[in-house]
Structure 1
Amino acid sequence: MEPRGLMGGFYRISEWIMRLAVINLLWVVCSLPVIFILFTALFGLNPEDVETYGILPLLTLPAIVVAVLTPFLVFPATAAMFTVARKWVTGEADVPLFKTFFRGYKENYKQSMIGGILYTVLFALLVVNFFFYREEFSVISYIFLAFLVLVAASLFNFFSMLVHYHMKTFQLIKNALLITIGKPFRSLSNIIMIALVIVISWNFMKGFMFMFFTGSIIAFVSFWNFNIIYMKLQEQAEKMKQSEEEAAEEAAEMDREELVKDDYKDSNK
C-alpha cells in the first residue's frame, strides 16, 4: 500500500527519481563509445593547441568518428528511451523499465538507425555550409543556422513519432518536419525547455546530472510536447470528420426533400 500525505509525496518523488535515473543510465551505457569519444575530445583540448591551430581542426576527427557511430548507437538508445517516456506520458508509469527499454531498442533499431544516418548526413551538410558561409556571407550562414534549429526540433518529433506510430522511415522524417513547421510555437517551446535542461545540467550538476537525468528528462519533455500536438491533431480530425458527417446528412436530407417534392408534383399531375 502506497503511503499518503507528506511521506507519500516523498515516496512518489523518489520513485520518479529512480525511474529517470535508471533509463538515463541505460541510455548512457548503450551510447558509451560515442559519449567517451565526445567527452575525451572536449575536455582533452590543450589551450595552447587551441590558440595555435584553432578548435575546429582539433575536433574534426573526433566529430567524424562520432558522426559515424551515432546512428548505430545513440539513435537506437534514444528511441528506446522515448519508448519508456511514451509510457510515462500516456499514464503507464509503472511499466518494467529494463524490459520496456530493451524491447523498444530491439523493435525500433532498424528505423532509428536509418533515420539516424539520414539526420546525421543532413546535420553534417548544414554544419559544413554554416561554417563555410560564416566568414564571407554572414546572412546566408544565419539561414543555415535557422535550418539547423528546425532540423534539431524535428529530430525530437521524429523520435516521438517513431515510438508512437507505425510508419516508414521517410514518412516519419517528412511528418516530423511538417509538424515542426506546422506547430512552430510548440516546437520552439520544446527546444527552449531542452536548452534549459542542458544549461542546468552543464552549469550546476555537470557530469552527475548528465549521467543520471539529462537524457531521460529531455525524452519526457519532448514526448509530452509531442503528445499535446497529437491530441490537438486528433481533436481537429474528429471535428473535421463530424462536420463532414453533418454535411453529408444535410445533403441527404435535401435530397429526400427534393424527392418528396417531385413525388408531390407527380401525384398532382
Structure 2
Amino acid sequence: MMLTGWKGKLNDFLEWAMRLAYVNLLWIGGSLLGLLAAGFFPATIAMFAVVRKWLQKDEEIKTASYFWKIYKSEMLKGNAFGYCWVILGLILYFDLSFFRSFSNLVSLIFTYVTFLIGAVYICSLLFAFPVYVHYDERVFQTVKNSVLLTLSRPLFAIVLAIAFYLPYYLVFRVPGMLPFYSGSLIAYCLLFVSLKIFDNLEQLEKD
C-alpha cells in the first residue's frame, strides 16, 4: 500500500534512516576488517559508492553485496588514493610546524601561505571521495580534479564545507548517533551537494 502525505514522508525518512545506519555498520566493519590502516579507505569508497547509487535512484542494488564488491576492488587503488591525501596532509603539517618554530617576518609569511594552502587542502578533501566515486579516473587525476574544483569554484567548496559540518555536528552532539551515522550521514550530505554541483558543471559544459 502506497502511503501519502505525512505518513509517506515519515516512511521515506525511516527507510533512509535504516539504510544509512546499515551502510554505516558495513563501513565500520570494513574498516576494522582491514585493521583500519588497510580497510578505512576502501570501506569509505564503498560507502560513498553505495550512497551515490541510492541518490541516483538505483534501487536494484543489494547494499551488502555491492558494498563488499567495491571494497575488494578498491583495496589497492583506494588505499593509494587515500594515502596520497595522508601524505599531502603530513607535508603541510610539518611545513606549518617548521615555519611556526621561527619568529621572523619571512617565517610568518610562509606560515600564512601554508595556512591558506591547508584550507584549500581541506576543501579539496571534501570533494575527494565524491569525485572518486562519480568519475572513473586515475588516482592523481582525481586528486588534481578535487583541488581544481576547489580553486575554480570556491563558493561550491564553502557549500560543501557546510554540508560536512552540519551532519558532523549533529552526529557528535546527539547521543546514540555515532555508531550508526558517523560516516554515512556525512557521505549522504556531501554526495547530495556534490552530485548537484557535478550536474551543474556538466550542464555548463554543454551550453
Per the TM superposition, whether the score is higher than 0.5 is yes
The answer (yes or no) to whether the contact 1:108–1:162 under 8 Å persists in 2 is: no
Whole-angstrom CA distance in 2 between matches of 1:17 and 1:184: 31
TM-score calculated relative to the size of structure 1: 0.68
CA contact (8 A) 1:82 1:163 kept: yes
Structure 2 residues without counterparts, runs of 5 or longer: none
Deviation string 1:46-102 (CA, Å, 9 cap, x unpaired) is xxxxxxxxxxxxxxxxxxxx7xx2xx2211111001101211222225632212212
> Percent of aligned pairs with the same residue?
29
Contact 2:30–2:71 (CA under 8 A) maintained in structure 1: no
Secondary structure, counterpart of 1:95 in structure 2 = coil
Amino acid at match of 2:186: I
Corresponding position: 1:91 with 2:61: no
Letter in 2 for 1:217: L
Deviation at 1:131, TM superposition (A): 2.5
Indicate how the Cα distance of structure 1 residues 33 and 131 shifts in structure 2: closer, same or farther if over 3 A, else same. farther
Checking the alignment, whether the CA contact within 8 Å between 1:108 and 1:163 is kept in structure 2 is no
Q: Find the aligned partners of 1:218 and 1:149 in 2 and give their Cα distance.
A: 19
Please point out which of 180, 192, 203 is paired with 1:235.
Answer: 203
The number of residues matched between the two structures is: 203
Over 3 Å counting, the alpha-carbon distance change for 1:221 and 1:179 in structure 2 is same
Change (3 A) 1:80 1:33: closer
Distance 1:101 1:76 in 2: 10
Unmatched tracts of structure 1, length 5 or more:
36-65, 240-269
How big is the shift at 1:138? 4.5
Structure with more helix by fraction: 1
Partner letter of residue 163 of structure 1?
V
Q: Does the CA-based 8 Å contact 2:163-2:193 persist in structure 1?
A: no
- Over 3 Å counting, the alpha-carbon distance change for 1:123 and 1:34 in structure 2 is farther
Q: Hey, which bits of structure 1, 4+ residues long, moved more than 4 A?
A: none
Pick aligned residue for 2:76 from 104, 107, 110:
110
Structure with the larger RCO, 1 or 2 (CA within 8 Å, 6+ apart): 2
Q: Report how far residue 124 of structure 1 moved.
A: 0.7
